[in-house]
Structure 1
């Protein structure tokens, strides 16, 4: 007995061009709905990262003050200093930039200090994600 194999176009496997285009349109629509929400989360997480980094720097500054008796004149004093009673370094690594890759601003104000990140735009002032983040 002979076996007969039959192939027809209807039994071929794969997707047609129209089916692929429909799938691509659906993926594009989903991405356009989900994308902005996800990028918004990235920006708000940068603000939280800046706040956490400034809190870490604040702890190092306070520890320096307890050891030396005064606030550092600049943030680099947390890593190297020749001052008396200096027991550092007070940070495990180099002083980080803020999440937007700008340096943190440090200012001594007599018996206190201010740490500041200028936000996403890197300029004084601003609103929302461009707003300055201050730690005192």
Structure 2
């Protein structure tokens, strides 16, 4: 009489459980939003709208510098990121580039130190 060998339960269960846990972790990470990053991109949308109004009135955008040229007609005050640092602004005269350098104020970084731009796909208003 031959006895069929059944695969050991753990040999099947462990790989499946690792896959399930991995999916849960990835979905959990993707579902979380850093409130500061959300604020940065909300600010970008507000600044981009002000820049569009300024361009409509003036024909083109300044090349670089502070955003003080928008105050007080288009914005009530010069915008700063959630960490109190001014946004980096530059333009080729038509396409604006906005950047927050993150909590540390330095280029690059991860987590709260991550840089954000209006070109990283999170802003609602598309840059021209």
TM-score exceeds 0.5: yes
Deviations 1:52-95 (A, max 9, x none): 01110111001110111011354111126xxxxxxxx011x111
Larger Rg: 1
TM-score by length of 1: 0.57
Does 1:79 find its partner at 2:63? Answer: no
The runs of 5 or more residues in structure 1 that have no matched partner are 1-40, 81-88
TM-score by length of 2: 0.60
TM-aligned CA deviation for residue 96 of structure 1: 2.3
- How many residue pairs were aligned? 86
Q: For residues 108 and 66 of structure 1, do their structure 2 counterparts lie closer, same or farther at Cα, with a shift above 3 Å needed? A: same
Q: Counting helix residues as a fraction of each chain, which structure ranks higher? A: 1
Please list, as runs of the form range in 1=range in 2, the aligned pairs for 1:29-108 lying within 5 A after superposition. 44-73=34-63, 74=65, 75-79=67-71, 89-91=73-75, 93-108=76-91
The runs of 5 or more residues in structure 2 that have no matched partner are 1-31, 120-128
